Structures are given as structure tokens and as C-alpha cells.
Amino acid sequence: EDQVTQSPEALRLQEGESSSLNCSYTVSGLRGLFWYRQDPGKGPEFLFTLYSAGEEKEKERLKATLTKKESFLHITAPKPEDSATYLCAVRRRNTPLVFGKGTRLSVIA
């Protein structure tokens, strides 16, 4: 059974304090690892897809990396507007996404 575990459950940072969110997964035949951002009362918003170990993608202050067992979402010099829940999801071949429980990030000015 596919499993996705995100840590920590919640993270509180000062503005400018860089950190990383972790997503560890157990899935045979990974066909993509996805990161989403979710704001309160909204649907998840797509950020990145990673397909193979060693791959990295960046968007503004966010950088996602992938190994064979886990992915990291690095947040560099975060701002209060980066506060959100970050969701990780995995997909095997031609199957729907399986999501982790998310990490709730708060960035304090």
C-alpha cells in the first residue's frame, strides 16, 4: 500500500528563517511526486512535480528536491505570505494521487 508521511505536522518560523519540510514515501513504481499549497478555505494549488531522484525544481522562495525515499520542500527566507498548509502526493502508474496529511506552516513577521 502506498504511504506518504509528512513532517513536521506544523512549523512556526520567523520571517527570514529558512527551513525544510519533509515528505517520505513508500510506493512501488513512482510516477511522480507532487507538492501543493493550500490556503485556509481554499482548494490545493499545484506547485511542483518531481519524477526522478536527483531532480530539483524552484519557484520563488521554494525549492523541491527528490531522493528515492523522500522529498524536501526548502523554504528560503520565508515571508508571512508563505504561511499555508503544504501537501505532498505520490502517484504510481496511471493511478490517482495519494496525499500525505500536510505540514501547516506559519511565518511570523
Partner 1 sequence: DAEITQSPRHKITETGRQVTLACHQTWNHNNMFWYRQDLGHGLRLIHYSYGVHDTNKGEVSDGYSVSRSNTEDLPLTLESAASSQTSVYFCASSESLSGELFFGEGSRLTVL
- Using CB under 8 A, list all residues that contact partner 1: 31-32, 34, 41-46, 49, 87, 89, 91, 94, 96-102
Handedness of CA 94, 21, 6, 103 (dihedral sign): negative
Closest distance of CB 25 from partner 1, Å: 13
Closer to partner 1 by Cβ: residue 20 or 46: 46
Distance CA 12, CA 27 (A): 30
Q: How far is the CB of 82 from partner 1 (least distance, A)?
A: 19
Least separation in angstroms between residue 37's CB and partner 1 is: 11
Q: How far is CA 73 from CA 11, 30, 54, 57, in A?
A: 13, 18, 13, 10
